[in-house]
Amino acid sequence: MTSRSYRPSVRANQHRLPSWARIPPVQRSPFSSISTKCEGVCPRTSVGTSNDPITAIQAASARHEELTALREEAESLSEALATRKLVERAKGLLMERESLTEREAFGRLRRASQVSGRPMRVVAEALIATFQDA
């Protein structure tokens, strides 16, 4: 796979890279003119080819902020989904036990939440716990 002229340790030393970080040479498929590996374009280095450390730090900082925002959004969506599941379950229990329509059951949950001053998730959890004990 590696050609004779390609010496990983020599090239890695020339570029002050550890030998495990070397990029193998481009190899062509014997069956077509299409290359089997990327031709010197690495997805990680295509963003910023500058060797300026300040540019690299700014790019890393921007990626970190983006990743943090995405994690917060994912956590928020996960929490909203869990709340919705609890509310739907509590609504189902009210509909079954009290013979209410879906709208009436949701209205009761909403009213209980407003009167108690607690989030609908807390009211739904309390209702589920109460009906499970009974």
> What was the pLDDT predicted at 132?
86
Please give, one letter per residue, the 3-state secondary structure of the chain.
CCCCCCCHHHHHHHCCCCHHHCCCCCCECCCCCCECCCCCCCCCCCCCCCCCHHHHHHHHHHHHHHHHHHHHHHHHHHHHHHHHHHHHHHHHHHHHHHCCCHHHHHHHHHHHHHHHCCCHHHHHHHHHHHHHHC
CA pair distance 61, 83, nearest whole angstrom: 33
Q: What is the mean pLDDT of residues 68-73?
A: 94
> What was the pLDDT predicted at 51?
75
> What was the pLDDT predicted at 119?
95
Confidence of residue 93 (pLDDT cuts 50, 70, 90): very high
Kindly tell me if the per-residue pLDDT of 43 is higher than 60.
no
Q: Let me know: does 36 contact 27? Beta carbons within 8 Å.
A: yes
